[in-house]
Amino acid sequence: MWRYSLNNFFVQRVRNVGSNVAFSIFDGDIKDGSSFCDDSQYTNAIDRFNLFKKPLMYIPGDNEWTDCHRTNNDGYNNLERLTHIRQVMFNTPYSFGQKKMKLEHQGALAGDYAENTRWTRGKVVFVGLNMPGSNNNKVNTDSECTNKSARSLEDCKADNAEYLARDAANIAFLKESFQKAKASKARGLVITIQGDPSFDLPETESFNERSLPGFDGFTNFLTVLADETGKFGGEIVLVHGDVHFFKIDKPLVDQAHLVKNFTRVETFGSPNVHWIKVSVNPYSRNLFTFEPMMVSGN
């Protein structure tokens, strides 16, 4: 599990992943935040993903669609870029990699929400959701809309409509995944998104920083996640990138209300492009073990 780094670092990482790894998850950002969002970014990413011998699952990040409206990204329409991602990167039922895995998709292939995926390995259900940084594509003010951006106010209205529809779809797929995990008597559920849902904000007793406008695009998701986790008898892991620091902790819900069966894993990010090996032992008290794998020369 990791975030972007291109070309030589990516090849180094492919070599670093051992043959005993069942599959890999790339949690978004196929490019840096200041480069153009042209079509070659997506085809080049597919080529890199297919260097892996084992299956690789991809979850979209903000750098490749939500932030493409920025002038330093060449001012693309970010909703058009999302459509392009779905058409180019989610047009088959299979993962990337030389050995592919068939995935469940929420939406029709190449269509709305096709990027939301699910698969099962042993007694663990895995879910990928399109929840990127930049507040999950939710825009709160006119100044935020147009700052260093090629967007119009009408574009931002469309962004907010897209956010509302996708947020509802994400939550529906999340709830369905919990039900499937319960029905199959799964021991664990791993959810991967790209955006940091505000876990790294300061904590104070008198104010909930997660209600700040820049992070409210994740509020509905976190509410449902906390509720469903509390009703699930197994272990829940939320994996995300976005912040570029490696962390493992239990930030749900707050300091006064620890959810013991919830773990957050924040993956490495540029310039520290390493990966995390996740082991599953159904006979251990701790179902999951997380091991940072440092890539030499990086």
Q: What is the pLDDT of residues 155-165, one digit of tens each?
A: 999 999 999 99
**% of the chain with per-residue pLDDT over 70:** 91
Query: What's the pLDDT score for residue 2?
Result: 43
Collapsed DSSP state (helix, strand, coil) of residue 292: strand
Confidence of residue 68 (pLDDT cuts 50, 70, 90): very high
What's the mean pLDDT in 272-298? 90
135 backbone φψ class: left, alpha, beta (φ>0; ψ -120 to 50): left
265 in a structural domain: yes
Most confidently predicted of 6-20, 43-57, 259-273, 282-296 = 43-57
Residue 107 burial (10 A CB sphere; 0-12, 13-18, 19+): middle
Confidence of residue 6 (pLDDT cuts 50, 70, 90): very low
What's the mean pLDDT in 231-254? 92
Residue 225 pLDDT exceeds 60 = yes
Q: What's the mean pLDDT when you consider all of the chain?
A: 92
**Six token digits for residue 17:** 């992943």
E runs forming strands in 149-293: 188-192, 235-240, 247-249, 253-254, 257-258, 262-266, 275-280, 288-293
Do residues 192 and 239 lie in contact, with contact meaning Cβ atoms separated by under 8 Å?
A: yes
3 in a structural domain: no
Separation of alpha carbons 273 and 267, rounded Å: 9
2 in a structural domain: no
298 in a structural domain: no
Residue 50 DSSP class = T
Q: Which residues pair with 41 in a beta bridge?
A: none
**% of the chain with per-residue pLDDT over 90:** 79
Separation of alpha carbons 89 and 77, rounded Å: 18
Residue 262 pLDDT exceeds 90 = yes
Q: How many domains does the chain have?
A: 1
The residues near 90 (Cβ < 8 Å, ≥ 6 apart) are: 105, 109, 110, 114, 115
What's the mean pLDDT in 145-149? 97
Collapsed DSSP state (helix, strand, coil) of residue 99: coil
Residue 16 pLDDT exceeds 90 = no
Residue 11 pLDDT exceeds 70 = no
31 in a structural domain: yes
Helix axes 153-183, 219-230, angle to 10 degrees: 10
Q: What angle do CA 254, 258, 262 make, to 5 degrees?
A: 105
216 in a structural domain: yes
The CATH code of the domain that includes 201 is: 3.60.21
Query: What's the pLDDT score for residue 231?
Result: 97
282 in a structural domain: yes
**Which residue range(s) make up the domain with 25?**
8-293
Query: What's the pLDDT score for residue 14?
Result: 61
Query: What's the pLDDT score for residue 205?
Result: 67
16 backbone φψ class: left, alpha, beta (φ>0; ψ -120 to 50): alpha
Query: What's the pLDDT score for residue 186?
Result: 98
| pLDDT tens, position by position, 180-195 | 999 999 999 999 999 9
1 in a structural domain: no
